[in-house]
Amino acid sequence: MRPGGQPNMQQLMKQAQKMQAQLASAQAALAEAEVTGTAGGGLVTVKMTGSGEFRGISIDPKAVDPDDVETLEDLVSAAFTNAADEVRKLTEQKMGPLSAGLGGMGLPF
């Protein structure tokens, strides 16, 4: 900060550009990463990218019971929820350090 409490704009711009590059790098890493969600002890597996894009699902034939479709539906839903939780954790891991750095730029958050 300059005397009088005013931030140095040139320094702020450099920090903003650096953070923008770090953000782009983190987003690219998320897009390339793959997470897996499972349910039923691995009977249903869902794969997603770190950015939340669905990649595939695997259902063990043992999970398929024509007389109990509801259980399979629950397993699929649970596997998607688990995969989404993994995406959230990965996002926090990759993006967390960047959001923590915003406070160091003299910005009010």
- Residue 74 identity (one-letter amino acid): D
pLDDT given for residue 102 in this prediction: 55
For the cut 90, the answer to whether the pLDDT of residue 13 exceeds it is no
Catalogue the long-range contacts made by 23-29 (C-beta closer than 8 Å, 24 or more residues apart): 23/95, 23/98, 26/94, 26/95, 26/98, 27/51, 29/94
Question: What is the per-residue pLDDT across 65-82, written as a single tens digit (0 to 9) for each?
Answer: 999 999 999 999 999 999
Residue found under tokens 């794969």: 47
Name the residue among 100, 77, 79, 86 with its Cα closest to residue 30: 86
Question: What is the per-residue pLDDT across 43-67, written as a single tens digit (0 to 9) for each?
Answer: 999 999 988 899 999 999 999 999 9
Tell me how far apart the terminal alpha carbons of the chain are, to the nearest angstrom: 16
Q: What is the pTM of this model?
A: 0.70
